Structure 1
Amino acid sequence: MSGTPWRLLALLPLGEDMIRGVFGGLDAEVSMPAERDASGLHAALAEADLVIGDYTGALAIDAAAVAAAPDLAFVQMPSVGVDSCDLDALTAAGVPLANAAGANARSVAEWALAATLDLSRSITWADRRMRAGEWPQMETAAHGSDELGGRRVGVLGMGAIGTEVMRLFDAIGCRTAYWSRRRHPHGVFKELDELLTTSDVVVVCLPRTPETIGLLDTGRLALMPARSLLVSVARGGIAPDEAVLAALESGKLAGAALDVYEREPLPVDHPLRNHDDVLLSPHTAGATRQAQLNIITTVLDNVRAAIEGRPVRNVVNGIDPVVRHR
């Protein structure tokens, strides 16, 4: 099928002009779903070879979507997470799935450090009271005013983000250790339960997989030292929202900084929104201008490689990285 034009379907929740402006220079026919729902997705997939996924997860590449795409040859996610894709279905169909690993590592790691500093010094806690007309000088010190340097920080997951998190916390004098499925040549490795029991701060950087969903349940969070901090830049459900709330209410956690939730957007009436010791962020830890540019560049480079017959990078499901027409 040499010379057959590639058909590129972009599922990004962006305007048509923007999508064509970014991807129009590729040697491919660019299209978008007519409707952003399951039927619109499946209709568009029926005529697609290459797909750029939806980072919001609203248009999931699940098993039904894969079945609706007989010519599908490659899926590129514009994110690190691939939990909106059915890896088993794509693998069975022989379709390589790639992510944007490392593109936002610095941005997410900086957010994790900033959020930990905020919780350690009760910065947002005091800001809320100042805006209400109070002068909580003594109360802020009593609520929590700890230096971060010298504290024990446990990092869960040592991909690009976890590695950068450890580097930044090391730089300010924290005593870091990590748990990961694979041991790394640098850093102090501890088994998961030991890491939780010996960490004043736990930073969650794990991907969402069947093995990590619910990993930090009520029992595991109970292992953490009293008045410790939890920072999650991973995916919702690894530390279930109800388990985090229970640990806060019991006093086990002094605070939690959350960028991700089991349900996104976080419901308006969710109790996390009203908890005084929770720092909330709308899944934007990696949303810096620098990270967005890195992601766009990664996506463009990989799609161009697919079109030109060169191996694509960051394939996560073990399929041959040279993309071929079906």
Structure 2
Amino acid sequence: MPVSPGQGGNSSSPTIAVLHAVDRPPALAEHACGAELRFATDDTLADTLPGCDALFVWDFTSDAVRGAWPAADTMRWVHTASAGVDRLIFPGLVDSDVTLTNSRGVFDTPMAEYVLGVVLAFAKDLPQTLRLQDRREWRHRETEGIAGRCAVVVGSGPIGRAIARLLTAAGLQVRLVGRRPADGVHGIDELDALLPEADFLVLAAPLTDRTRGLLDAAALGLLKPTARVVNVGRGALVVQSDLVDALAAGRIAGAALDVFETEPLPADSPLWGMPNVIVSPHMSGDTVGWRDALVELFADNLARYRAGTPLRNVVDKARGYVTGNTGGSA
């Protein structure tokens, strides 16, 4: 049976499986300090896992871990190069003693900057400006201000809080929504009452049973016609067909979407051609140097693992996210 750090296995010289797609983690061998690295892709992971102490999920878009998990006979620790862990929350891992950690802290500021960027793009009508420029068409318009507007940010973790700080600094009135009420945070049960206030609804929550399909036709119906939706969390937070219907009917004014139910977004999706929609390919947190930052975080946790000290970003597997500042700063 898999065991957690500090219980058997080899912490001083661990064997680590690394799940990757085309690109491998940069300079990982330099950070491994003698640990044995076994690189695997989706089709070779099950053959690679036996005898491994740890798994570094570099390809965090892969679903291969679930199928290969029965082969993880000595696994003690799984780390993912993402903030979301929904692809790893399956019974075999959740019910085991294996410790799961994520890459919380790497994406907070970049994603907050992305959200501020699309809020400004909508308010200043930048997509239309670029379309008119392509046609060499001079058309004067009035645009909107953002100072004093209301942003409802769903997700009170580090990413949501970074978004709230940046939007507040830009002059917006921010309502931060979390799983339960806390100081400065509204509980998720208050969301329906907050939606009619929102000029911008920002989704930055983890994907859990509670948040799946959170923005459906009923919730969209509570938004005002001038509201815009920004999703940087997970595609499944939104019932995409309901969102398409609301956009097409003009029941909301627009959407900026970085995540989708199916990725890559299919070429025949109506979202591509909607003038009030900004589509980006799951890149809101990916700024220059992000891959190096992910490897450095893993390397720090690897040093902690080998020393037998608490790991950073330990996920509460029952909840599906990190609770508190476990194991040091993130």
TM-score, structure 1 as length reference: 0.88
Amino acid in the other structure paired with 1:22: L
Q: Which ranges in structure 1 are unaligned for 5 or more consecutive residues?
A: none
- Give the 3 Å change call, closer, same or farther, for CA 201–115 of structure 1 in structure 2: same
How far is the alpha carbon of 1:4 from its aligned partner? Answer: 7.1
Task: State the SS of the aligned residue for 1:237.
Answer: helix
Aligned equivalents of 1:67, 1:14: Cα separation in 2: 24
Alignment map for 1:128-207 (pairs within 5 Å): 128-138=131-141, 141=142, 145-186=143-184, 191-207=190-206
Amino acid in the other structure paired with 1:119: F
The residue aligned with 1:232 is 231
The residue aligned with 1:242 is 241
TM-score, structure 2 as length reference: 0.87
Aligned equivalents of 2:11, 2:90: Cα separation in 1: 29
The residue aligned with 2:50 is 46
Q: Do 1:130 and 1:136's aligned partners in 2 also have CA atoms closer than 8 Å? A: no
Identity between Structure 1 and Structure 2 (%): 30
Q: Do 1:6 and 1:29's aligned partners in 2 also have CA atoms closer than 8 Å? A: yes
**Per-residue CA distance 1:150-176 (angstroms, 9 max, x = gap):** 101101011001101111111121111
How far is the alpha carbon of 1:55 from its aligned partner? Answer: 3.8
Q: Do 1:48 and 1:72's aligned partners in 2 also have CA atoms closer than 8 Å? A: yes
- Give the 3 Å change call, closer, same or farther, for CA 270–231 of structure 1 in structure 2: same
- Give the 3 Å change call, closer, same or farther, for CA 25–206 of structure 1 in structure 2: closer
2:36 is the counterpart of 1:29: yes
The residue aligned with 2:250 is 251
Aligned equivalents of 1:268, 1:310: Cα separation in 2: 47
Q: Do 1:6 and 1:28's aligned partners in 2 also have CA atoms closer than 8 Å? A: yes
Task: State the SS of the aligned residue for 2:315.
Answer: coil
Q: Where does structure 1 differ by over 6 angstroms across 4 or more consecutive aligned residues? A: none
- Give the 3 Å change call, closer, same or farther, for CA 92–306 of structure 1 in structure 2: same
2:316 is the counterpart of 1:317: yes
- Give the 3 Å change call, closer, same or farther, for CA 3–282 of structure 1 in structure 2: closer
Give the alignment partner of residue 57 of structure 1, picking from 44, 56, 61.
61
Give the alignment partner of residue 76 of structure 1, picking from 79, 97, 109.
79
Q: Do 1:113 and 1:169's aligned partners in 2 also have CA atoms closer than 8 Å? A: yes
- Give the 3 Å change call, closer, same or farther, for CA 3–301 of structure 1 in structure 2: closer
2:121 is the counterpart of 1:113: no
How far is the alpha carbon of 1:302 from its aligned partner? Answer: 0.9
Task: State the SS of the aligned residue for 2:211.
Answer: coil
How far is the alpha carbon of 1:14 from its aligned partner? Answer: 4.7
Q: Which moved more, 1:173-182 or 1:260-269?
A: 173-182
Task: State the SS of the aligned residue for 2:36.
Answer: strand
Amino acid in the other structure paired with 2:222: L
Amino acid in the other structure paired with 1:254: A
2:18 is the counterpart of 1:10: yes
Q: Do 1:150 and 1:175's aligned partners in 2 also have CA atoms closer than 8 Å? A: yes
Q: Do 2:151 and 2:175's aligned partners in 1 also have CA atoms closer than 8 Å? A: yes
